[in-house]
Homo-oligomer: A and B are copies of this chain.
Amino acid sequence: MTAERDVKAYMTELGQKARLASRLVAAAPVAVKNKALLAIADELNACRSMLIAENSKDLAAGAANGLDAAMLDRLAVKDATIDKMIEGLRQVAALRDPCGEITDLNYMPSGIQVGKMRVPLGVIGIIYESRPNVTIDAASLCLKSGNAAILRGGSESIHSNRAIAACLQRGLEVAGLPSTVVQVVETTDRAAVGELITMPEYVDVIVPRGGKGLIERISREAKVPVIKHLDGICHVYIDDKADLKKAFDITLNAKTHRYGVCNALETLLVAEGIAAQVLPSLAEALAEKGVELRGCEKTRAIISANEAVEADWSTEYLAPILSIKIVAGLDEAIEHINRYSSQHSEAIVTEDFTRARRFLTEVDSSSVMVNASTRFADGFEYGLGAEIGISTDKIHARGPVGLDGLTSQKWIVLGDGHIRQ
């Protein structure tokens, strides 16, 4: 038997076990799911030295294979990392169970009552890079939402993930759930990903978490629906009816609060009528933070900036760089955004009611904001309690995806012997 056939057989077996387990976890009462979450937290706490020892094997191999400092940092499992995993598990345990929620139950003209009941999706495949903490994040959200999960982390984190998997399995068993509710793919063979994303009979949805290349490849090759998160090319538009202080605060926060995040500001649009008032102080504050400015011609007539070229408008810098464009007004701002944005998050700063209303309606992005920083686009800030990712798609889930995004709704009909006429 070839290695490839081995991987196929292995993944098929994981899929079959996940499908069976999904039925059991879907029917599990919330108390059982919460017990498992807390038991997993206890296991992690009890196994700190084992987790750190296994992780050190990955770190040593990663260093030997030339991983850069940032990658090694994301790969590392320290006591503080374990603390965060434990806290995350406890937070998810404290969230309301999305399953079984009945909404919109109304009487119809025929006399039947029709409503919707929230139910798990089934089996969720998560593909992510070498960040062991994602193993716990993803497992906890899938479990709480009543789904089985198959987790495939980056191959550089294989020892860490196997160690975490052991804790997951013991925690599930403590709660009386099958250990197959969460399975970690224990081969580093890349063919495993190819199998995972082409088994619609066993996997209901794929959530890739990682770089753009990974997500594009998975979206292209998957035969299973994908909840995907691509770029965050976010805009702030400062309208000429903006409050200057709000414009200043929001722009600075959106750009400089954190640089490497998908909801950070990348392109600032400024109405021509207010540019001379707002840009100089902003440029000064951004310069103090070490942010490189790249401006259109009109911008460079007001402040000192490098020249912005066409490619700047469609670049996610994830770095202390800001492109700035002066626009005639709202129409041009919306046009620019709908053309160049990655449909992640955009904000307008204005005191004008009608312009705010138009911006909210006409900008086609997953989060659209008035007088607030794009940095708020986040599952925790939106009250979801946690998020498995931010969807830049429109199908199924858009924007921050919390527990509800990992569920579906079935229709329920209640009658008293009703038949159709």
Contacts and interface: CB of A to CB of B under 8 A. Distances in A.
Contacts of A381: 108, 110, 112, 114, 420
A220 B252 CA distance: 47
A394 B243 contact: no
A233 interface: no
A413 B253 contact: no
A361 B368 CA distance: 36
Interface stretch (A38-46, A173-181, A306-314, A404-412): A404-412
A420 B375 contact: yes
A89 B186 CA distance: 56
Interface string A370-399: 111101110001110000000000111011
A74 interface: no
A79 B364 CA distance: 42
Interface in A356-372: 360-362, 364-372
Contacts of A27: 361-362
A399 B338 CA distance: 32
Given A108-B381, A420-B381, A394 B338 contact: no
B377 A417 contact: no
A288 interface: no
A417 B382 contact: no
B408 A375 contact: no
A210 interface: no
Contacts of A417: 243, 245-246, 249-250, 349, 371-372
A381 B381 CA distance: 38
A117 interface: yes
Given A257-B419, A373-B420, A376-B413, 5 more contacts: A23-B338, A254-B419, A347-B413, A368-B412, A398-B408
